[in-house]
Amino acid sequence: MKRKKILVLAVVCLALLLVVLPFASACAAKGPKPGQELKIGMMTPTTGPAAEKGSPMGHANLDAMEYVNTELGGAGGYPIKVLWYDSGYDAAKVATFVKRFIDEGALLFTVASSAEMSWAMELANRAEFPGLASFTAPSLYRPPKHIYGQMPDYGDDWTAFANYYMKNVWKGTGRPKMALELLNNPTGYGARDAAKAMADKLGIDIISTDEHTATTISEMDALTRIKAAKPDVLYISSTPKPTAVILKNARDLGLLTGTTIGLGHAGITKALVDIAGVDVVEGVYGVFPTVNWDDNVPGMAKMTEYVKKLHPNDYGNMDYITSWAQSLIVAEILKNAVKNVGYDKLAKGGVEAYQAIETQGIQKLNYDVAGLHGPAIYTQGDNRLSKSVRVFQIRKGVITPVTNWLEAPMIKYEDFPWFGK
């Protein structure tokens, strides 16, 4: 009798195992197998003439990816492997790294700057290899192809600042006179294109357009000419180091008195305040597309935890916020794609995988980015993901918001006969 009970119990246990094992196998199959990962390419100008921006951005990209992998379980359950390189703000290196990303099976790539993407985009578009840039210009994605902007571009900056200036600062009669000081790459050209498209409509006269290099040590000649024209506004679209040079030269010429200064978002960062000095930047306006440090948004605590643990010198630098958010967006893109097409299709690589990333990842985005900047939402025909900016003013060394979020409307630059020429 005892033996029969044991036999019955064994049969029941075996039956239960036969029922449970398929479910256990199915659950195990859902997770990644050894070696399964999602590769992406990332580059930042960590050294070179834009290192004051690129260094904290590179730190943020990799810090955020560590957070995504260790605390969020990667994207769709799969770890993200980052192929990261320092571009040095060098065109030849950028092209080399894009080819390397493609050869090594990356599903998409990111850059920090509009200049980097201007050097990458021809190769990437030809390969249908999707790219995401933090800082952008209209020339990168008008008309839309395979390059996307994380946030509003330098043209959006100029338009937002010009609107704010006309409504809140300009108290004169007639049309104000604006001079442009522009970095000689898409950082500057984006603002130039917006001014060409929108200045007349807004009632602003552009009286001069001067260009400078990222390594400039003096813009006294250009600013002397600008001062003689008696501008009401000087708008600078550049990175922090050359912006600091221009502002110091303007101070020495007495141009800061009585002239409103506006900056695009490449220039108005903590690095500018540190390089130029608090007295030089006092009262300067600028546009930036992220929140401030310590703003009460969901993603602030975790980002602050990581920056203080891994790169405490970057705390307070808004460029860090930009690239931390970029990595979160990349993880969301990959999560969407895994959910919608599955890992196996992505793992095959090539054009079909790139198309899946675009159509089932990027173009399915509806992501709040933990409140760190405007929501990343793809809109048909508009390759900017976030479309929101704020106007700031530097007050006693603090970059202080003076507006709420402003929606940057899409401008079809390709409809203007001069665009791209």
Q: Maximum distance among all alpha carbons in the chain?
A: 111
Q: What is the pLDDT of residue 229?
A: 97
Helices H / strands E in the chain, number of each: 14, 15
Above 90 in pLDDT, residue 392? yes
The answer to whether 59 and 310 are in contact (CB under 8 A) is yes
Task: Assess whether pLDDT exceeds 90 at residue 11.
Answer: no
Mean pLDDT, rounded, for 134-152? 97
pLDDT at 308: 98
Q: φ, ψ for residue 208 (rounded to 5)? A: -165, 150
CA 118 and chain centroid, separation: 14
Whether the Cβ atoms of residue 395 and residue 279 lie closer than 8 Å to each other: no
Which pLDDT does position 30 carry in this prediction?
Answer: 59
Amino acid at 69: N
How would DSSP label each residue in 307-324?
Answer: HHHH-GGGTT-HHHHHHH
pLDDT of residue 33: 84
Check residue 35 and give its pLDDT. Answer: 83
Q: Over 70: is that where the pLDDT of 20 sits? A: no
The answer, yes or no, to whether residue 17 has pLDDT greater than 70, is: no
- Domains, the chain, ordered by start: 38-152+293-386 (3.40.50.2300), 155-288+407-415 (3.40.50.2300)
On whether the CB atoms of residues 391 and 404 are closer than 8 A, the answer is: no
pLDDT of 250 reads 98
Chain segment 280-314, per-residue pLDDT in tens: 999 999 999 999 999 999 999 999 999 999 999 99
pLDDT for 79 equals 98
Q: For 198-226, how does the pLDDT look when each residue is reduced to its tens digit (9 = 90+)? A: 999 999 999 999 999 999 999 999 999 99
Write down the pLDDT at residue 157: 97
Q: Which residue(s) pair with 263 in the sheet?
A: 236, 286
Rounded to 10 deg, the angle between the 186-202 and 114-127 helix axes is 100
Smallest CA-to-CA distance from 263 within 151, 181, 374 is with: 181
Average pLDDT, the chain: 93
Tokens standing for residue 340:
């919608």
- pLDDT score recorded for residue 312: 98
Residue 5: both structure tokens together: 């009970």
- Rounded to 10 deg, the angle between the 51-71 and 318-341 helix axes is 40
> Is residue 26 scored above 70 in pLDDT?
no
User: Hey, how many other C-beta atoms are within 10 angstroms of the C-beta on 31?
Assistant: 10
Local confidence band at 187 (pLDDT 50, 70, 90 cut-offs)? very high
State the SS3 of 91-145. Answer: HHHHHHHHHHHHHCCCCCEEECCHHHHHHHHHHHHHHCCCEEECCCCHHHCCCCC
Residue 107 has a CB neighbour count (10 Å cut-off) of: 24
pLDDT band of residue 73 (cuts 50, 70, 90) is: very high
- Per-residue pLDDT at 16 exceeds 70: no
Q: What are phi and psi of 103, to 5 degrees?
A: -65, -30
Best CA proximity match to 170, nearest among 120, 204, 215, 212:
204
pLDDT of residue 24: 41
Distance, in Å, from the CA atom of 262 to the CA atom of 176, rounded to the nearest integer, reads: 14
Q: Any residues with CB less than 8 A from the CB of 39 and at least 6 apart, and which? A: 80, 81, 83, 104, 105, 106, 107
Give 234-271 pLDDT, tens digit per residue: 999 999 999 999 999 999 999 999 999 999 999 999 99
The confidence band for 31, taking pLDDT boundaries of 50, 70 and 90, is low
Per-residue CA distances from 140 to 81, 112, 155, 190 (Å) = 26, 13, 12, 10
Residue 27 has pLDDT above 70, yes or no: no
**Which tens digit of pLDDT belongs to each residue from 263-277?**
999 999 999 999 999
Percent with pLDDT over 90 in the chain: 91
pLDDT for 277 equals 97
pLDDT bracket for residue 22 (50, 70, 90): very low
> In this structure, is the dihedral angle defined by the CA atoms of residues 201, 204, 210 and 212, taken in order, positive or negative?
negative
**pLDDT above 70 coverage of the chain, percent:** 93
Q: What is the mean pLDDT of residues 350-361?
A: 98
pLDDT at 32: 80
Q: How far is CA 31 from CA 70, 328, 336, 410, in A?
A: 15, 21, 16, 41
